[in-house]
Amino acid sequence: MKSKLSLLIIEDDKYSRLNMRELLAPFGLLDEACDVLTAQEKLKTNTYDIVLTDIELGEGTGIDLIPTIVRRGAHCIVVSSFECDEVIEKSYTLGAAHFLAKFKLRDQLPVYINKFIQAKDARFEKFLSEEFITQDRETIEELRLLCQLNLKAQNLFISGPTGTGKSLLGKLIHELTHPEAPLVHLNCSEISENLLESELFGHEKGAFTGAEQKKEGKLKLANGGTLFLDEVATMPLSMQQKLLKAIDEKTFYPVGSLTPIRSEFTLITATCEDMNEKIKKKEFREDLFFRLSGFQFHLKSLSERPEDIELLIKNFQKKSSRRYVIKTEALEILKKYNWPGNIRELKKMSERFSQSQSGIIDYKTVKTLIGHPTEATSTSTFGQWNEYIQNHGLRSLISMIEKKAVEDSMKRNNGKITTCIKELKISSSAFYRILQENNL
């Protein structure tokens, strides 16, 4: 992957700008500003990978621009013929990544930019070889294109079944766009509705019962970096409206505060649910979805790329102290299995292979571990159900089955709500209804 960059040159001297333009032209798209006011406007309306700024800019100074450049998520390079320890120290203190002398630009600037690109490309290659293991050409090419986009201060929406690597992809995008800035993660499905607003926006001391001290919200903590909202489809409608307002205005109010807080960040959201269905059922705001999905990426399920199964198992084996061999007929069963838990489920299966008594995983071993579906409505079971219905009613039976299914799923998945919803194949609203009705 050869990354193309978006660069801004802030320089008041015409010939210095021409020199930098010549040096930087091979690396991507160039933009220019000849004074502080023009630079501020461009930084407000555009996103850049790298911003190069002179110190002396006529009536202004490049030093004053550094905080804005860094806050906008750009890599800041100060370029100046004015070399003074105090100025250099202040530049680095304010967040500049590099300070270059003008008379050495021709020798040093292209080398530095190349190193910046190589680091970015190396991170992507490591992602494919060590973290997101796939040989699916379509997926690789789409990932490559996504990682070439400039996503600073943009919105990315990642969809795909549970266990396909949405969090991994979100982390990669953050590291490529904001390598030195904070990544703030929040799983919306794991926070109760009455606490979600406080988690997102923060609260003042005494704002509500139990608020014994001031709390900074995720939106503020993500300023200058990335906010990753996982399972955003589970967010209550009341919170969706508040989040939409905060995204549009880039400001928000902590609970119990009258003072607005400004925060700019790359927003990554993810879900395993069908958003079109959620919008159709009025469970998710269509206008919010449009704002979240400035860029969209869908991760395929493992059943859609069965050729990756053997590759993934070999990768999991590298991390295990015990080796085993999978017979061809066993591998064919694994490729035909639908993998509802996707890569996460395959990883657990691989762990069970390494713990099996035999080091040879054959047809019988796989069949035993995957299991066989049983006939739920046998004659004896149906007879017992009929008797229960006559005594307590159909609704009571359904409620009892729902409660038992949710309880068992919560135990199997250590209380991870998103995994339970996917495993039970029900909507998040149905899941929370069962919890509420049964005081779980």
Q: pLDDT tens, 318-335?
A: 888 888 899 999 999 999
| pLDDT-based confidence at residue 374 (cuts at 50, 70, 90) | very low
> Given this model, what pLDDT does residue 191 score?
87
List the structure tokens of 20. Answer: 């930098």
> Given this model, what pLDDT does residue 427 score?
81
Q: What is the pLDDT of the chain when averaged over all its residues?
A: 87
Neighbour-count burial of 282, counting CB atoms closer than 10 A to its CB (0-12 exposed, 13-18 middle, 19+ buried): exposed
| Residue range 401-415, pLDDT digits in tens | 888 888 888 888 878
Q: Give the integer Cα–Cα distance in Å for 222 and 148.
A: 22
**Mean pLDDT throughout 96-106?**
88
Q: Residue 88: which residues within 8 A CB-CB, separation 6 or more?
A: 99
| pLDDT-based confidence at residue 2 (cuts at 50, 70, 90) | low
- Residues 342 and 301: beta-carbon distance below 8 Å: yes
**Which domains occur in the chain, in start order?**
5-118 (3.40.50.2300), 132-298 (3.40.50.300), 302-370 (1.10.8.60), 379-437 (no CATH)
Whether the pLDDT of residue 102 is over 80: the answer is yes
- Residues 6 and 28: beta-carbon distance below 8 Å: yes
- Residues 161 and 204: beta-carbon distance below 8 Å: no
| Residue range 230-242, pLDDT digits in tens | 999 999 999 999 9
> Given this model, what pLDDT does residue 179 score?
77
List the structure tokens of 240. Answer: 């969706």
Q: Higher confidence at residue 83 or residue 258?
A: 258
| Residue range 284-330, pLDDT digits in tens | 999 999 999 999 999 999 999 999 999 999 999 888 888 889 999 99
| Residue range 141-173, pLDDT digits in tens | 999 989 888 888 889 999 999 889 999 999 999
| pLDDT-based confidence at residue 186 (cuts at 50, 70, 90) | very high
Q: Higher confidence at residue 133 or residue 439?
A: 133
| pLDDT-based confidence at residue 376 (cuts at 50, 70, 90) | very low
Q: What CA–CA distances, in Å, run from 254 to 216, 234, 279, 397?
A: 8, 21, 28, 45
> Given this model, what pLDDT does residue 373 score?
37
Q: CA-based Rg of the chain, rounded to a whole angstrom?
A: 27
- Name which of 1-5, 276-280, 356-360 the model is least confident about: 1-5
List the structure tokens of 288. Answer: 């919010």
Q: Give the integer Cα–Cα distance in Å for 354 and 343.
A: 17
Map tokens 């199997």 to a residue. 412
Q: Give the integer Cα–Cα distance in Å for 249 and 113.
A: 34
List the structure tokens of 251. Answer: 């400001």
Whether the pLDDT of residue 194 is over 90: the answer is no
Convert the chain into a string of H (helix), E (strand) and C (coil).
CCCCEEEEEECCCHHHHHHHHHHHHHHEEEEEECCHHHHHHHHHHCCCCEEEECCEECCEEHHHHHHHHHHCCCEEEEEECCCCHHHHHHHHHHCCCEEEEHHHHHHHHHHHHHHHHHHHHHHHHHHHHHHCCCCCHHHHHHHHHHHHCCCCCCEEEEECCCCCCHHHHHHHHHHHHCCCCCEEEEEHHHCCHHHHHHHHHEECCCCCCCCCCCEECHHHHCCCCEEEEECHHHCCHHHHHHHHHHHHHCEECCECCCCCEECCCEEEEEECCCHHHHHHCCCCCHHHHHHHCCEEEECCCHHHCCCHHHHHHHHHHHCCCCCCEECHHHHHHHHHCCCCCHHHHHHHHHHHHHHCCCCEECHHHHHHHHCCCCCCCCHHHHHHHHHHHHHHCHHHHHHHHHHHHHHHHHHHCCCCHHHHHHHHCCCHHHHHHHHHHCCC
Q: Higher confidence at residue 361 or residue 211?
A: 361
Q: Give the integer Cα–Cα distance in Å for 21 and 29.
A: 10
List the structure tokens of 323. Answer: 């080796």
| pLDDT-based confidence at residue 380 (cuts at 50, 70, 90) | very low
- Sign of torsion, CA 384 387 388 394? positive
Q: Would strands 183-187 and 226-230 be described as parallel, antiparallel, or unpaired? A: parallel
Q: What CA–CA distances, in Å, run from 92 to 86, 95, 97, 333?
A: 10, 5, 7, 58
| Residue range 25-58, pLDDT digits in tens | 999 899 999 999 999 999 988 888 899 999 888 7
Q: Give the integer Cα–Cα distance in Å for 379 and 159.
A: 42
Greatest pairwise CA separation for the chain in angstroms: 92
> Given this model, what pLDDT does residue 377 score?
37
Residue at 281: amino acid letter: K
Q: Give the integer Cα–Cα distance in Å for 229 and 184.
A: 8
**Mean pLDDT throughout 120-143?**
91
